Chains A and B, each alone.
Chain A
Amino acid sequence: MKRVGLAVLLLLGMLAMAEGKLKAGWIYVGPIGDYGWTHAHDVGRKEAEKAFPWLKTLYVESVPEGQVGSYIDQMVRQGVRVIFATSFGYMDGVLEAAKRYPNVIFAHATGFKRAPNVATYMADFYQVYYLNGLMAGALTKSGKVGYVGAFPIPEVKRHINAFTLGVRAVNPKAKVLVRWIYEWYNPAAAKEATEALIAEGADVFAFTEDSPTVVQVAAEKHLPSFSHYSPMLKFAPDYVVSGQLVHWGAIYKDFLAKVYAGLYTPKNLKDVDYWWLLPQKAVELGADYGVPVNPKFIPALKAKKIHHPVFGEISVYDLVMKLKAMMSDVELAFDPFQGPIKDRKGHLRVPAGVRLTQAQLESMEWAVEGVTGPWPNEPK
């Protein structure tokens, strides 16, 4: 009897401890087993749970955008106090739920609407894309770089523009040929688009799609490519040059630590917007963690010398490393979108000496010079 009593006490104690934990919930738009967006957020969630003993996490995968409200209800009922909603399409559902639950903290990825208890966050790649563009410009022989894009939304357009600026900084006559597949995940369409770009003469590839398809199709033709979102070096170790990697965990840890410390409350998030880049280590250059450039391509990149307006005669490899260091510094001594930059219709979009603001970057619809192919919603 005594032993049972002890066990009950112990159990109650454990329950109490569990109660004392901060419960955070993640709502994912895709399956956690995808090879991109949702997987990367889930890695970040696990990282946060591992880092903080006071944190307990919950998640729910493949939540359709229109149904987010009812999943938020479920989470709140489970005692969740911080909810991360990881798709743009959840925006209106999150704001409605935030009114319903004024004491719950919400953070919405990629959105632009905030409230006293709704913050927004984004880990953006545009700096990394510029660095990849420099390397692509050095490696193309045909002067045509292929890009398979998911949706023609400002985020993807911004990345293609940054990439193209990089390509043209090394190879001013090169073009970036763009194809859209209108899906975040569609290996069949990505394959088709890559093959079409190869037929058009493209010989280096970058993309926005949540599978390693472009890397694999390019490698079959012995062509180099840049991986996207997750480490893809292992899919074509001889052909993946570099790429972009995300660390959502950096944002999740910072945010949750500030909630736990009482800095973030359901009353003061109106102006909390994470726009995290290289300096905050939310993104990384490379096709695998800790490998900014595939060693197999370093000799070729070192051999390619250009005349740079600031650094003079410099190899592309050194240029990539220098600019990476500059963009990783909070001072941001360099930014890809520093004027003068013209769009491909000839309008001056960024005057000399000016940099685009975050709001301008987030709503970018125009295409830089050198981008060829369809560009829906292109301003006149």
Chain B
Amino acid sequence: MRLVPREQPGPAFVLAVSALAVLLAFAASLVLLALYGASPVEALRVVYQGVLADPRGFAEVLRRAVPLTLAGAGLALAFRAQFWNIGAEGQLLLGAVAASGVALFGPGEGITKLFLMGLAAFVAGGLWAALPAYLKGRLSVNDVITTLMLNYVAIYLVEWLIHGPWKGRSVFGFAYTDRFPASAWLPTWPGTALAWPGVLLAVAFAVFFAWLLFATRLGFEIRVVGENPEAARYAGIRALSTLFWVALLSGGVAGLAGFVEVAGTHHRLLAPLQISLGYGYTAIIVAWLGRNHPLTTLLTGLLIGFVFAAGDVAKVALATPFQLVQVVNGLILFFLIAAEVPIRYRIVWGSDRG
């Protein structure tokens, strides 16, 4: 048996293999559940009833999908330019910080206030990503390391703010800010906890990024810089400025995800782990699963959002351990990476001499 590289696998084939990988990951999760003592049939029933057949449950899928898709679409853009942004988590937190700052201390009322919060979040997240992009473009500093490390800086920034200068006066000494004024809350869909403007933002940016990437000059430059830096230089593309725009947009949408979380769900700035549930890291799976196409992240964001929501249901109804969601996400990533082999290679039976 040997592996022969494929010529250009077609999109239908890639989709089929990826879907199979996800199905296998779900099957493996059910096996794990069975080993834990929960019946897989019962698990499917509970998830169907609690998530898919119930409007409130489905709203929970969307609520998780919004930050995942926002950050994921941005990462798709970044990865296209070979800007290895592992820092969406930190960019999301910076967005949450900026949005909270405007909510608590900034000007504006009603829609103006929300707009200013979103804008501040976008700029803060974008600049947080632009810093490692600059270091990469100017000094060739490894972007995986810098974007990752800046996540920790962001975490400690949030911790400092909620323990120090922004600690609320009405929170009995606990480490939160005060609640945002009601004008800084995103409206929710009646009967659910879903801040629906987040859905609009996620769809709008996924579409915008796809258009940008495939129908504009900047998009063309992004793809050339990513696929062939030498050719880019030859064509006179200024890699540094391309990288800057990619970072600003990619970090910016992650920042928006932070804005949606604090303005839509929490209504205050609180401990970093409570704000994001690791959306910034999970968004890497979203982008990757979507083959770095901004439009596909709409689907893959929904899928991972479903994993989160289904995990919540299983935790309550089947008393599964809390790590289940991470395990399922890990399995999806595992099977996807394994799927790279059949996507890129054909398996040929028989010896290579034959």
Task: Write the residues of chain A forming the contact surface with B, with a CB cutoff of 8 angstroms.
Answer: 25, 31, 58-62, 64-67, 69-71, 73-75, 77-78, 88-89, 92, 112, 151-154, 157, 182, 362-363, 365, 376-377
| Cβ A73 vs Cβ B175 within 8 A | no
Q: Knowing A77-B54, A182-B159, A365-B173 touch, does A64 contact B312 (C-beta < 8 A)? A: no
Report Cα–Cα, A152/B174, bound state, in Å: 8
| Cβ A182 vs Cβ B163 within 8 A | yes
Q: Which residue of A lies closest to B163 (CB)?
A: A182
Q: How far is the CB of B199 from chain A (nearest CB, A)?
A: 16
11 contacts between A and B (CB under 8 A): A25-B316, A61-B315, A66-B266, A74-B312, A77-B50, A77-B54, A78-B316, A78-B317, A112-B172, A153-B172, A182-B163
B235 contacts A by Cβ under 8 Å: no
| Cβ A377 vs Cβ B173 within 8 A | yes
| Cβ B322 vs Cβ A31 within 8 A | yes
| Cβ B172 vs Cβ A74 within 8 A | no
B273 contacts A by Cβ under 8 Å: yes
Report Cα–Cα, A286/B141, bound state, in Å: 56
Q: How far is the CB of B123 from chain A (nearest CB, A)?
A: 24
Residues of B within 8 A of A59 (CB): 319
User: Which of A62, A78, A92, A365 contacts B179, CB < 8 Å?
Assistant: A92
Kindly list 13 other residue pairs between chains A and B, CB separation below 8 angstroms, not including A64-B274, A78-B317. Answer: A59-B319, A67-B265, A69-B193, A70-B60, A71-B312, A73-B56, A74-B316, A74-B317, A89-B174, A92-B267, A152-B173, A157-B173, A376-B163
Residues of B within 8 A of A376 (CB): 163, 173
Report Cα–Cα, A275/B270, bound state, in Å: 27
| Cβ A70 vs Cβ B274 within 8 A | no
Residues of A within 8 A of B321 (CB): 31, 61
Report Cα–Cα, A60/B275, bound state, in Å: 19
Q: Which residue of B lies closest to A96 (CB)?
A: B193
| Cβ B270 vs Cβ A70 within 8 A | no
Proximity bits, B138-165, A CB within 8 Å = 1, else 0 = 0000000000000000000001000100
Report Cα–Cα, A342/B7, bound state, in Å: 82
Residues of B within 8 A of A62 (CB): 322
| Cβ B179 vs Cβ A60 within 8 A | no
Residues of A within 8 A of B193 (CB): 69-70
| Cβ B312 vs Cβ A154 within 8 A | no
Q: How far is the CB of B237 from chain A (nearest CB, A)?
A: 43
B277 contacts A by Cβ under 8 Å: yes
| Cβ B173 vs Cβ A153 within 8 A | yes
Residues of A within 8 A of B56 (CB): 73
Q: How far is the CB of A60 from chain B (nearest CB, A)?
A: 5
Q: How far is the CB of B63 from chain A (nearest CB, A)?
A: 8
Q: How far is the CB of A30 from chain B (nearest CB, A)?
A: 9
Report Cα–Cα, A153/B173, bound state, in Å: 4
| Tally of B interface residues using CB under 8 Å | 32
Q: How far is the CB of B268 from chain A (nearest CB, A)?
A: 9
Report Cα–Cα, A74/B317, bound state, in Å: 8
B70 contacts A by Cβ under 8 Å: no
Residues of A within 8 A of B267 (CB): 92
B206 contacts A by Cβ under 8 Å: no
User: Which of A71, A151, A153 contacts B316, CB < 8 Å?
Assistant: A71
Residues of A within 8 A of B317 (CB): 74, 78
Q: How far is the CB of A15 from chain B (nearest CB, A)?
A: 14
Report Cα–Cα, A66/B315, bound state, in Å: 17
Q: Knowing A66-B266, A89-B274 touch, does A74 contact B313 (C-beta < 8 A)? A: yes
Residues of A within 8 A of B275 (CB): 66
B259 contacts A by Cβ under 8 Å: no
B205 contacts A by Cβ under 8 Å: no
B122 contacts A by Cβ under 8 Å: no
Q: Knowing A66-B266, A89-B176, A153-B174 touch, does A75 contact B322 (C-beta < 8 A)? A: no
Proximity bits, B281-294, A CB within 8 Å = 1, else 0 = 00000000000000
Q: Which residue of B lies closest to A77 (CB)?
A: B50
Interface residues of B in 11-41 (CB under 8 A from A): none
Residues of B within 8 A of A70 (CB): 60, 63, 193, 312
What 7 A-B pairs are tightest by C-beta distance, nearest first? Answer: A153-B173, A62-B322, A74-B316, A66-B266, A60-B316, A60-B315, A64-B274
Q: Knowing A60-B316, A71-B316 touch, does A363 contact B159 (C-beta < 8 A)? A: no
Report Cα–Cα, A182/B175, bound state, in Å: 9
Q: Which residue of B lies closest to A64 (CB)?
A: B274
| Cβ B316 vs Cβ A75 within 8 A | yes
Report Cα–Cα, A62/B316, bound state, in Å: 11
Report Cα–Cα, A73/B163, bound state, in Å: 31
User: Which of B50, B63, B270 contacts A74, CB < 8 Å?
Assistant: B50
Residues of A within 8 A of B265 (CB): 66-67
Residues of A within 8 A of B322 (CB): 31, 60-62
| Cβ B270 vs Cβ A66 within 8 A | yes
| Cβ B270 vs Cβ A58 within 8 A | no
Report Cα–Cα, A363/B175, bound state, in Å: 15
Residues of B within 8 A of A25 (CB): 316
Q: Which residue of A lies closest to B59 (CB)?
A: A70
Residues of B within 8 A of A61 (CB): 315, 321-322
Report Cα–Cα, A363/B173, bound state, in Å: 9
| Cβ A88 vs Cβ B313 within 8 A | no
Proximity bits, B52-82, A CB within 8 Å = 1, else 0 = 0010100010010000000000000000000
Interface residues of B in 290-344 (CB under 8 A from A): 312-313, 315-317, 319, 321-322
Residues of A within 8 A of B316 (CB): 25, 58, 60, 71, 74-75, 78
Q: How far is the CB of A344 from chain B (nearest CB, A)?
A: 18
| Cβ B274 vs Cβ A154 within 8 A | no
Q: Which residue of B lies closest to A65 (CB)?
A: B274
Q: How far is the CB of A72 from chain B (nearest CB, A)?
A: 10
Residues of B within 8 A of A153 (CB): 172-174
Interface residues of B in 63-121 (CB under 8 A from A): 63
Q: How far is the CB of B18 from chain A (nearest CB, A)?
A: 29
